[in-house]
C-alpha cells in the first residue's frame, strides 16, 4: 500500500491526481504521535510524570520503609541525613517514604474527580451540544448556576457540607469540575455538529447514535481529553488544598497537601524539608499542564498543514 508502482502512474487517468504520488501519510493519531515525539518539553514532562507514577505506585519497593512508623528521637532531620536522605518529618517519619506513599492519595484524589467529571460532564456536554434546543439550554443554564461560585469556595462548601474525608473531597472536586467540562464539550460538539460532514451523514439517513459515534465523538474526544488533562493540574492543587485545610484526607495518612500542612510549623527549623511536599505538588501539577499543552499543540495539525 505504501509504494507506487509505475503501473499505477500509467493507469491513473487524471492529471489533477498526479501531484500526490507519494506514499500515503500516516493516520491522524499516528501523526500526532510523531509530532509529540519531536517535542522535547512534552517528552521531558512525560518522563517526569512516569517517574512520579513509578515511585508512588512502587512505593514499598522504592522507599523500603513504613510511612507510619517514626522515630521520635530523629525528628526533623535535615536533607541528607544518613538513612533519611530527604530528612524526617515532625514525628520522625522518613520523608522520602511518606512522599512516595503520599503521592498515591494525592494522585488518586486529583485524577478521580477529573475522570468522573470527564464522564459525566463529557456526556452532558455532548448531549447539550448535539441536541441543542431546550435540552441544551436546560443543561447549560443549570451549569451556569455553578459558575456563580469560585471553584475553591465551592469545593470547600461541598466538603464542609459532606464532612471531611477522601471520598467527600473527591466528590466535591468532581462537582466543581463538571460545569467547565460540560461547557468545553458543549462548545466543541456544537462546532462539530454544524460541519458539512455531519450534515452529509444526516443526509445519508443514518441514525443519530451512529452519527455521534462515528462522526462527532472522533472529532470531539481529542479536545475534551486535552482539557481534562489540563484540569488534572488544577485538581492536584485543589485536592491538596482541601487536605491542607483539613477537609480531605485525615492524619496520619500520607498525602502531599496534608504533609504540607503538618510540616508548616517546622518551616523555621527545616525550611527545605517542609517545602518538599509543596515541591512535589508543584512539579506534578506543572508537568500535567505542560503535557496537555504539548498534546494540544500536536493535535492542532489541520491549520498549519
Smaller CB separation from other proteins, 234 or 299: 299
Q: How far is the CB of 194 from other proteins (least distance, A)?
A: 9
Q: How far is the CB of 135 from other proteins (least distance, A)?
A: 15
Q: Contact, 201 vs 213, CB < 8 A?
A: no
Q: How far is the CB of 181 from other proteins (least distance, A)?
A: 22
Residue with the three cell numbers 512535589: 280
Smaller CB separation from other proteins, 163 or 304: 304
Q: How far is the CB of 231 from other proteins (least distance, A)?
A: 24
Question: C-alpha distances in angstroms, 66 versus 86, 95, 213, 268, 279?
Answer: 15, 10, 48, 26, 22
Residue 170, C-alpha cell as written in the block: 473527591
Smaller CB separation from other proteins, 40 or 133: 133
Smaller CB separation from other proteins, 207 or 250: 207
Sign of the four-CA dihedral 74, 77, 81, 85 = positive
Smaller CB separation from other proteins, 144 or 199: 199
Q: How far is the CB of 26 from other proteins (least distance, A)?
A: 9
Smaller CB separation from other proteins, 15 or 40: 15
DSSP class of residue 65 equals S
| Phi, then psi, of 247 in degrees rounded to 5 | -100, -10
Q: Contact, 242 vs 169, CB < 8 A?
A: yes
Smaller CB separation from other proteins, 52 or 220: 220
Q: How far is the CB of 207 from other proteins (least distance, A)?
A: 7
Q: How far is the CB of 302 from other proteins (least distance, A)?
A: 6
Beta-bridged to residue 94, according to DSSP, are 88
DSSP class of residue 78 equals P
Residue 164, C-alpha cell as written in the block: 471531611
d(CA 135, CA 173): 25
Q: What is the DSSP string of 198-259?
A: HHHHHHTT--HHHHIIIIIHHHHHHHHHHHHHHHHHHHHHHHHHHHHTTSSSPTTS--HHHH
Site of interaction with other proteins (CB under 8 A):
1, 4, 8, 11-17, 19-21, 24-25, 27-28, 195-197, 199-207, 210, 214-215, 218-219, 301-302, 305
Amino acid at each position: 500500500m505504501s509504494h507506487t508502482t509505475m503501473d499505477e502512474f500509467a493507469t491513473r487517468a487524471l492529471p489533477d491526481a498526479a501531484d500526490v504520488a507519494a506514499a500515503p501519510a500516516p493516520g491522524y493519531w499516528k501523526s500526532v504521535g510523531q509530532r509529540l515525539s519531536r517535542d522535547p518539553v512534552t517528552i521531558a514532562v512525560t518522563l517526569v510524570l512516569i517517574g512520579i507514577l513509578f515511585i508512588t505506585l512502587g512505593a514499598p519497593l522504592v522507599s523500603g520503609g513504613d510511612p507510619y512508623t517514626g522515630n521520635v528521637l530523629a525528628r526533623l532531620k535535615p536533607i541528607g541525613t544518613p538513612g533519611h536522605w530527604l530528612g524526617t518529618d515532625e514525628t520522625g517519619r522518613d520523608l522520602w517514604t511518606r512522599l512516595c506513599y503520599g503521592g498515591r492519595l494525592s494522585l488518586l484524589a486529583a485524577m478521580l474527580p477529573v475522570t468522573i467529571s470527564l464522564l459525566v460532564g463529557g456526556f452532558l456536554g455532548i448531549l447539550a451540544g448535539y441536541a441543542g434546543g431546550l435540552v441544551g439550554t436546560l443543561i447549560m443554564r443549570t451549569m451556569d448556576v455553578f459558575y456563580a461560585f469560585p471553584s475553591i469556595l465551592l469545593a470547600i462548601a461541598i466538603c464542609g457540607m459532606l464532612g471531611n474525608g477522601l471520598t467527600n473531597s473527591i466528590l466535591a472536586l468532581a462537582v466543581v469540575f463538571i460545569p467547565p467540562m460540560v461547557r468545553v464539550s458543549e462548545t466543541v460538539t456544537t462546532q462539530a455538529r454544524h460541519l458539512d460532514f455531519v450534515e452529509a451523514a444526516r443526509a445519508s439517513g443514518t441514525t443519530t447514535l451512529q452519527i455521534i459515534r462515528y462522526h462527532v465523538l472522533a472529532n470531539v474526544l481529542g479536545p475534551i481529553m486535552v482539557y481534562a488533562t489540563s484540569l488534572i493540574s488544577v485538581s492536584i492543587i485543589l485536592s491538596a488544598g482541601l487536605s491542607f485545610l483539613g477537609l480531605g484526607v485525615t492524619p496520619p495518612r500520607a498525602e502531599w497537601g496534608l504533609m504540607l500542612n503538618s510540616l508548616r510549623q517546622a518551616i523555621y527549623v527545616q525550611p527545605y524539608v517542609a517545602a518538599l511536599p509543596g515541591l512535589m505538588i508543584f512539579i506534578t501539577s506543572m508537568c500535567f499542564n505542560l503535557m496537555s499543552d504539548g498534546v494540544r499543540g500536536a493535535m492542532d495539525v489541520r491549520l498549519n498543514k
